[in-house]
Chain A
Amino acid sequence: MLVLSRKNGQKIIINDDIEITILESKFDHCKIAIDAPRSVKIYREEVYKQIQLSNQMSNTASVESIDSLTSLINTNPEANTKINKVIIKKKDT
């Protein structure tokens, strides 16, 4: 692993198209700016790990567990189906 030391305002360049700037750093808090192509996926680690863990847990379900969950839903008077809504931004052409 490469470990670099940077001062506030200094940058790191990765591959020719990713630029990381240390905006502000004091005590145990550091603010960084990342300038990268949109195709580069950037996540906060804790969010990424939480989703990974949730995916893993979904894979532990058995066929029987869905049956027991289904029986709870059918008796739920509040259940009413709503339609998902997806918003697609149109580019100006």
Chain B
Amino acid sequence: MKLQTTRFGEIEIDEKFCFEMISPVLGYGDEAKFMLIEHSENSSFKWFQSIKTPDLAFVVSLAGIFGIDYSYELPEDVQESLEIKEAEDVLTVNIVVIPQGEPKASTINLLAPLVFNINTRKGAQVILTGTDYAVNYPLFRQEALC
């Protein structure tokens, strides 16, 4: 089956990389199915592309790639709804914002990661509680802007 996308043209759907959101990406409640697409080989970034809407794709990455110590406790209700038993069942990605023309001002959302059960390929955007993680954590420190 083919998938129409605005950014990448027509691509083949690979079920292995398709995910169903049982709790939505906030603001996109009517979008349930997505596919993770590698930006390029060995890239630090992936795209979380909607199956339904060609021009809807979020940039995602792993906090650790940027040297961020990222550890969180998965809320029990999410554990239950995603049927997660072990930490090994979990894939966590964080949504990245790249302001137009200002890549150095890019931020990563550490407060509300996308959490998946890699066995069932079901996922949720989870708002963590009891942490100081920011929604818009800068990827580059301020002095790096000079």
Residues from chain B with Cβ under 8 Å of A58 in the complex: 58-59, 95-98, 109
B28 and A63 contacting across the interface, CB-CB below 8 Å: no
Docked CA distance A90–B135 (Å): 28
Cα of A60 to Cα of B85 in the assembled complex, Å: 35
Select which of A52, A55, A82 is within 8 A of B67 by beta carbon: A82
Nearest residue (CB) in B for A79 is B67
Q: Quick check: A88 and B66 within 8 Å, CB to CB?
A: no
Among A51, A83, A85, A89, contact of B76 (Cβ-Cβ < 8 Å)? A89
Q: Decide: B27 and A79 in contact? CB cutoff 8 A.
A: no
Which A residues contact B (CB, under 8 angstroms)?
A: 38-39, 41, 43, 47-48, 50-63, 65-66, 68-70, 72-73, 76, 78-89
Contacts of A60 in B (CB 8 A): 100
Which residues of chain A come closer than 8 Å to B107, judged between CB atoms? 54
B45 pairs with A66, CB closer than 8 A: yes
Name which residue of chain B comes closest to A44, CB basis.
Answer: B127
